[in-house]
Amino acid sequence: MDKIHLLSLSISQLNEMIQLIGEPAYRSKQIWQAVYCQKSSAIQEMTALSSSLRVKLEETCTLSVLQPSAEARSTDKQTVKQLFITPDGNKLETVWMKYNERDTLCISTQSGCAMGCTFCATGQMGFSRNLTAGEIVEQVLFFERKLNIIERKVTNIVFMGMGEPFHNYEEVMKAIQILGDETGYNLGSRRMTISTVGLIPQIKRFSAERSQVNLAISLHAIDDPTRSKMMPVNRKYPIDDLLAACKEYVDNTHRRISFEWALIEGVNDDIATAKKLAIRLKGILCHVNLIQLNPTRYFAVRGSNKTRALEFMHTLQEAGIPVSIRLRRGIDINAGCGQLASSQ
């Protein structure tokens, strides 16, 4: 029988499990704090527990199911990409990015991706399976322990790694609940961001929950023929419907939404497109993140150059749309936006 992955359990589920094995309820709080406050990496490190309970837990539970494999470090030492292997042999990648005052993790929610965006390496590799909440949380704790050694800590999490988070809605939201629990890891909701290609039913569901987790939409085009060619999901959820759902989200939550725009040379980086984008976003509380497309193996078109990116940004600014160009990180190790593909 497979062991229970403790990182997949909410505090209430952990409490139920502890009572089922004949232990008092307070033990669940001790385990929870050992994992998420003391950052224990093994059951035997939970010294607040009796030795007999630790033996019992080791027989039935585990703190780790992901096998760390290849690690890649950028030449500027500001980015690390870690490959993990799941128990059933699937692969996923997680990226740590160091900034002056921030340590941001880019977390995967699936092994592969079913959305098929043409410019994305993960989409090019296809879909293997959803990750469990525990596998998502484990990525965070793996890097948290490493950062603690150098007296740093995870400050931000973006669900922008491999996979479409809203295609794995329940497990992603459960992982967010676990990571945000005030009695444990206690990462604030506003320090987490979910990025979606635009699954409208899940956007509406997320909107109804009035979560404080940030929402980002991968837009990349402002007319349906172009976007459908780049992102097959647009054939089911076209731009008009998507923007209506985004406006509904802002109206319901009063929170700013982000739009991600990968600038692709000769495709979506001209001034006329920038002006059309500004018109469509007018009246929506939003911010546009411009990303010069990162190279991938099976998409030959290049990303826009810096001059083109600045022209696009200035056009949006002149129209009153908040916008910035995202700092590129880890391109030399294929750790940038859209580059994760677990090809090792």
d(CA 341, CA 162) in angstroms, rounded, equals 7
Q: Which residues contact 272 (CB under 8 A, 6 or more apart)?
A: none
Burial of 322 (0-12, 13-18, 19+ CB in 10 A): middle
Q: From the options 3.40.50.720, 1.25.40.20, 3.20.20.70, 1.10.287.110, give the CATH code of 67-333.
A: 3.20.20.70
Q: Residue 217 pairs with which residues in a beta bridge?
A: 196, 259
Catalytic residue among 61, 117, 286, 337: 337
Give the CATH class of 4-62: mainly alpha
- Per domain, the residue ranges of the chain are 4-62, 67-333
Give residue 268's pLDDT.
94
Give residue 143's pLDDT.
97
d(CA 230, CA 266) in angstroms, rounded, equals 13
pLDDT in tens, the chain (344 residues): 689 999 999 999 999 999 988 999 999 999 999 999 999 999 999 999 999 999 999 999 999 999 999 999 988 888 999 999 999 999 999 999 999 889 999 999 999 999 988 888 777 788 999 999 999 999 999 999 999 999 999 999 999 999 999 999 999 999 999 999 999 999 999 999 999 999 999 999 999 999 999 999 999 999 999 999 999 999 999 999 999 999 999 999 999 999 999 999 989 999 999 999 999 999 999 999 999 886 666 565 777 889 999 999 999 999 999 999 987 665 655 555 654 565 54
141 closest CA partner among 84, 99, 205, 91:
84
Q: Catalytic annotation on 337? A: yes
CA angle centred on 63, ends 62 and 65, rounded to 5°: 80
Per-residue tokens: 229: 């060619």
Catalytic residue among 93, 138, 164, 171: 93
Give residue 124's pLDDT.
76
Q: Catalytic annotation on 120? A: no
d(CA 62, CA 84) in angstroms, rounded, equals 17
Give residue 344's pLDDT.
44
Give residue 327's pLDDT.
78
CB of 112 closer than 8 Å to CB of 125: yes
